[in-house]
Structures are given as C-alpha cells and as structure tokens.
Amino acid sequence: MNKAIVTGAGGFIGRALTAELLAHDIEVIAFDRTGSGITEKLPYSDGLHIVECDLSGLFSINEDDWKSLAGVDVFYHLGWEGSAGDARADYAIQLRNTQWSLDAVSFAKESGCTRFVGAGSIMEKESCFVGNAQGVKPGIAYIYGTAKLAAHCMTKPFAARLGVDHIWAMITNAYGAGEVSPRFVNTTIRKMIVGESLEFTSGTQNYDFVYVSDIAKAFRLLGEVGKPFCQYTLGSGRAKPLRGFIEEMGRTLVPGQPLHFGNVPYTGVNLPLEEFSIDDLVRDTGWSAEVPFAEGVKRTYDWIKGGM
C-alpha cells in the first residue's frame, strides 16, 4: 500500500490511523467534515493531503482534490456521524450514515481504489442477538448498532458488484489518550478523577477493550493483507466480564475508591465469549494487541487529568 484515503480522519480513531499510515510512509488523503478543524488535529507531513468535505458531498470535491486521489490503493471508511452519546439513538442520523457508507463505496470505485475497509462495531453482533431474542428490552443505542450492521451488510454486496474488495472490522470498544466522547472508559475515568460515586451494572456481561494505537495498526494491516470479503472482530483478544475490567481500572487508577456494582440496570444481551474471538484477525494479518489494559487506562487517565 502506497496511498490511502481515510474518512473521519479528524476523529479519535481516524487521527491514530492517519498517524500510523504516515509513520509507514503511506501517503494519506484525509477527509473530514467541513469546519472540523482537522488541520490542527493532524501532524504536518509532506505525505498528507487534507480534504474538508461532509460525507454527503464526497462527489462535490474540487478538481485539485480529485487529482490528489490518483494512485490510491485503499479506502478506509471511518467517518460516521453520531458514534457516541445521545446521537446513537437518532434514527435519522443513523440512516444517513448507512447511505453515506454506500456512497463511500461508490466513491472508492470512482477514486480507483481496489480495497474498501469499513469500521464496524461489536454492537452489530449484539443487535442481531437483540433482534432475535424473546423478551429482551433493548436500549435505544441499538439503533446505532443496527445502522452499523446495515452498513456492513449493504456495502459488502455493493462493493462486490463494483469490483472493489470489501473488508470489515468490528471494533469491540475503543479507548485511549485523545478520546473526548462519552464512551465507557473515558466517562469512568473522569468520574474517578473528580471523586464521583462509581456506579455500574452487575458487570456480568462480556466485554473487551482495545487501545487506539492497536486499532490503528490493525486497520493498516487489514488494508495491506486482510482477506477480501471477510469481517474481523477487532479487540484485545482478552475478553471477559465487564466487572473484571472495572476492577482492574480501580486497582490501577484509584485503589481504595469503592466500586458499586448492580446499581445500574443493564438493557442488552450478553454475547458469548466466543463472539469476541480475534483468531481470524491474528491468522490473516499477524496482528496482536501491544498495550495491556492497565497501561492503556493509565495513559488515558494521565491525558485526561492533564487537560483538566
């Protein structure tokens, strides 16, 4: 791979992937929404070309930006509006994301890319379980998970029809320094820093977390050697009940601070541990997670505290 497009390049994972690609001498065409401040978010590099463009206007970029796409090998689609917080429940936004994902495949074809790598979510698997489970009252965030599943299932045959290889990575739970959204690790660390009462579900549901730099490396490898029309679960490979991760955070960051389990209701399903298997990813790319959870949350804690 010599040249790649990255949508959502100014986002949490997008910034890490862009840096990873540039560090391996891969030229990057970085797309992010107009007015996002992407120029300040990414390091200067002769190998970086920035395109400010909303996902709804990919085909409206100017002539110079079109010329910059010549010779692109891989299209990484990370751009997604409303990936965290209340916007996950906004069905209008999530439906648009599905449409924009299909547009991205079409744009990849027009750009001359032969490989499309999409960023999915473990919530795709949860959404399948929830949709078929009797008597389970799902949380509203499953609108987001279902949209990711729809984008996955629709872009795959569309890419096949266009002659573009399709690769899909279902991220378990991303975290790390630089994260500002209200995802679980980030929110919990902020509560720990200010001494807020730490209230959780019973924590029996299975989880996995993977540090952002490890995610970036995995995406690079998937673009290089991932098998066409395959999907990969992207986690640390050390999934376990959520309570175990929370207790590890407590021991590492705030030893002695009480952790209260069972006070928050859980509205979802508990995926079997085998659903978190990363065997296919390891086999096809040789990737492995390098940042242990304790080290990762300490890095994240230090970054958050340093900015408060």
The 10s digit of each residue's pLDDT in 290-305 is 999 999 999 999 999 9
Residue 264 lies in a domain: no
- Does 202 fall in a domain? no
pLDDT for position 85: 84
Listed residue (270, 208, 209, 269) closest to 239, CA to CA: 208
Residues contacting 132, CB < 8 A, separation 6+ = none
With 90 as the cut, is the pLDDT of residue 36 above it?
no
Flag whether pLDDT at 27 surpasses 70.
yes
Q: Decide if 23 contacts 51 (C-beta within 8 A).
A: no
pLDDT of res. 299: 98
Domain presence at residue 307: no
Q: Which domain holds residue 162?
A: 3-176+208-239+272-291
Q: What percent of the chain has pLDDT over 70?
A: 100
CA 228 → CA 15, 26, 46, 121, 171, distances in Å?
25, 21, 30, 18, 18
Q: What is the pLDDT of residues 100-142, one digit of tens each?
A: 999 999 999 999 999 999 999 999 999 998 888 788 778 888 9
What is residue 43's predicted lDDT score, i.e. its pLDDT? 82
Min mean pLDDT across 162-176, 239-253, 264-278 is at: 264-278
45-59 residue pLDDT tens: 999 999 999 999 999
Query: For residue 263, is it within any domain?
Result: no
pLDDT category, 76, cuts 50, 70, 90?
Answer: very high
For residues 68 and 70, give the distance between their C-alpha atoms in angstroms, rounded to a whole number: 6
Q: Is the pLDDT of residue 39 over 90?
A: no
Can you give the pLDDT at residue 41? Answer: 85
In-domain check, residue 81:
yes
Check which CATH number belongs to the domain holding 166 and give it. 3.40.50.720
Confirm whether 258 is domain-assigned: no
Look at residue 234 in the predicted model and tell me its pLDDT: 98
pLDDT at 215 over 70: yes
Q: What is the pTM of this model?
A: 0.95
- Residues contacting 17, CB < 8 A, separation 6+: 6, 9, 76, 78, 215, 216, 219, 220
CA distance 33 to 237: 33
Three-state SS annotation for 3-57:
EEEEECCCCHHHHHHHHHHHHCCCEEEEEECCCCCHHHHCCCCCCEEEEECCHHH
* Residue 45 belongs to some domain of the structure: yes
pLDDT at 308: 67
Question: Domain tally for the chain?
Answer: 1
Residue 306 CB partners (closer than 8 Å, separation 6+): none
What's the confidence (pLDDT) of residue 281? 98
- Tell me the pLDDT of the chain averaged across its residues: 94
Segment 13-19 shows an average pLDDT of: 97
